[in-house]
């Protein structure tokens, strides 16, 4: 295969694999949401949809949901602004998909003597691109609420704008410490740096060098996803359904997919920035090298599979945390959400930046 054709094939395969990974995880997540709610609340979960009498623990329910959304009546409210009403769901789902492009899912590999990155695009600006692209999601939510021509969706959109903009400030500042420690905003470089050891024993993961930054970032991510306890834009008891009240059929499913995709991608980002990404503790190119000099040799393909599986398992854990938190903590009041964002998270984020700079300055001396 010639150079240009090989490069094109690699790009298409990477896009296909990453997109399939995210969308597949969304389907698993929808099922896990229902099962998790059933276990936590001690009630029955999905157990009806089946194929040839086989329910597979309710795993066919996401497929039944997809078929239902495709065949439901598609309508546009009389008072809606038709063009904006139609494109609003696209503004929710597209930025989330685009933000996956810079996440590394494994180390570079050699195929036919050529170096191939397990990453769609390795940008120098790295996470700044993620912040810029993911911030566009608020446009879709606000646009959907306004274009519906109804008061409850409009209130949900306004709530979402205030909440997401408030927490984006703290989310960005909570990561400044990570960028200061690893001296880069390039995600591939940050993951490689986390392969080192602190004091020769502890993995140099972001959660160990920036524990406060991790807590602040995780909290801001929950608020950005509009999930309980930060689900004020949807608030069923107050706004019927929030910004997507007037949406049905496949348009509503795009809003739902956008929310679940956001949770999947944010889980991958948390694993990448704070838990080593594809790095596996004490695992090197030839096998394990433990503190004290004890080593275990492994084939290269096994090392590669363990590294790629590492980020997958870490991401699954944080997606499950979304379910755990949603069905455990009740919804906050609006004033509590704003107070937490501006009077707690923002000052702590600024203090974390100051302390991180002071520690790094002292260590250089």
DSSP string, 221-276: HHHHTT-TTS-TTT-HHHHTTGGGTT--HHHHHHHHHHHHHHHHHHHHHHHHHHS-
Residue 131 in any domain: the answer is yes
Residue 52 in any domain: the answer is no
What lies within 8 Å, CB to CB, of 339 at 6+ separation is none
Residue 302 in any domain: the answer is yes
Q: What is the pLDDT of residue 235?
A: 67
The neighbour count for residue 56, using CB atoms within 10 Å, is 12
Q: What is the residue range of 15's domain?
A: 3-35+75-275+292-364
Q: Tell me the pTM.
A: 0.89
Domain total of the chain: 1
Give the whole-angstrom CA distance, residue 123 versus residue 102. 7
> What's the pLDDT tens digit per position in 13-69?
888 888 887 888 888 888 888 888 888 888 887 777 777 677 777 788 888 888 888
Confidence of residue 146 (pLDDT cuts 50, 70, 90): confident
Residue 154 in any domain: the answer is yes
Short-list 212, 220, 222, CA closest to 331: 222
Say if CB 278 and CB 307 are below 8 A apart.
yes
Residue 207 in any domain: the answer is yes
Confidence of residue 1 (pLDDT cuts 50, 70, 90): low
Residue 353 in any domain: the answer is yes
What lies within 8 Å, CB to CB, of 341 at 6+ separation is 163, 166, 167, 169, 170, 223
Give the whole-angstrom CA distance, residue 329 versus residue 51. 35
Residue 284 in any domain: the answer is no
Q: What is the pLDDT of residue 174?
A: 92
Give the whole-angstrom CA distance, residue 131 versus residue 142. 18
Confidence of residue 349 (pLDDT cuts 50, 70, 90): very high
The neighbour count for residue 160, using CB atoms within 10 Å, is 24
Question: Packing angle between helix 211-224 and helix 151-174, nearest 10 degrees?
Answer: 160
Evaluate if residue 209 carries a pLDDT over 80.
Answer: yes
Residue 44 in any domain: the answer is no
């Amino acid at each position: 295969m010639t150079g240009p054709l090989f490069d094109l094939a690699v790009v298409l395969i990477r896009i296909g694999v990453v997109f399939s990974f995210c969308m597949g995880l969304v389907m698993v997540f929808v099922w896990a949401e229902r099962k998790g709610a059933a276990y936590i609340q001690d009630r029955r979960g999905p157990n009806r949809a089946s194929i040839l009498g086989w329910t597979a623990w309710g795993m066919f329910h996401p497929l039944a949901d997809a078929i239902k959304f495709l065949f439901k009546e598609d309508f546009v409210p009389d008072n809606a602004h038709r063009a904006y009403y139609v494109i609003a769901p696209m503004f929710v789902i597209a930025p989330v998909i685009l933000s996956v492009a810079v996440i590394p899912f494994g180390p570079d590999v050699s195929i036919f003597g050529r170096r191939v990155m397990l990453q769609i695009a390795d940008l120098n600006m790295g996470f700044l691109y993620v912040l810029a692209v993911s911030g566009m999601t608020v446009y879709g939510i606000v646009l959907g609420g306004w274009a519906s021509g109804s008061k409850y969706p409009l209130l949900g959109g306004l709530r979402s704008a205030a909440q997401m903009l408030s927490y984006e400030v703290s989310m960005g500042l909570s990561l400044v410490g990570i960028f200061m420690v690893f001296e880069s905003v390039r995600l591939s470089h940050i993951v490689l740096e986390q392969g080192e050891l602190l004091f020769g024993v502890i993995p140099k993961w972001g959660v160990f060098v920036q524990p406060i930054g991790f807590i602040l970032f995780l909290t801001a991510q929950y608020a950005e996803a509009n999930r309980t306890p930060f689900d004020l834009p949807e608030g069923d008891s107050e706004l019927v359904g929030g910004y997507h009240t007037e949406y049905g059929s496949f348009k509503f499913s795009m809003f739902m997919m956008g929310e679940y995709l956001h949770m999947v991608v944010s889980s991958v980002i948390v694993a990448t920035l704070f838990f080593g990404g594809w790095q596996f503790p004490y695992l090197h190119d030839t096998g394990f090298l433990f503190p004290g000099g004890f080593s275990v040799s492994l084939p290269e393909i096994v090392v590669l599979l363990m590294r790629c599986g590492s980020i997958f398992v870490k991401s699954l854990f944080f997606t499950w945390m979304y379910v755990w938190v949603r069905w455990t903590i009740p919804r906050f009041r609006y004033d509590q959400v704003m107070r937490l964002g501006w009077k707690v998270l923002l000052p702590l984020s600024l203090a974390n930046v100051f302390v991180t700079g002071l520690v790094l300055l002292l260590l250089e001396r």
